[in-house]
Amino acid sequence: MARDQEPVSDEAIEALQEEMAEQQPEIREALAEDLGGEPEDYSAERYFQNLDSDRTGEAVPDGGD
């Protein structure tokens, strides 16, 4: 169970983030091959930058009633 586990150290989180960053080019290549487009089309950073610039000043619904 999760409550019996030790907390994850900052060093372990940083190491995982580095591993994920190293895999990004391969993942983008695979996505482009499988789904079409260019590998750069599958950049999360680029996507969120474009999303932020497209919605500047726009109200965001909170999903409430």
- Global confidence as pTM: 0.56
One pLDDT digit (tens) per residue for the chain, 65 residues: 567 788 999 999 999 999 999 999 999 999 999 999 999 999 888 877 877 665 556 666 676 65
d(C-alpha 20, C-alpha 33), whole Å: 20
Both structure tokens of 44: 């999360």
Q: Coil, helix or strand for 56? A: coil
Assess contact for 21 and 6: CB atoms under 8 A.
no
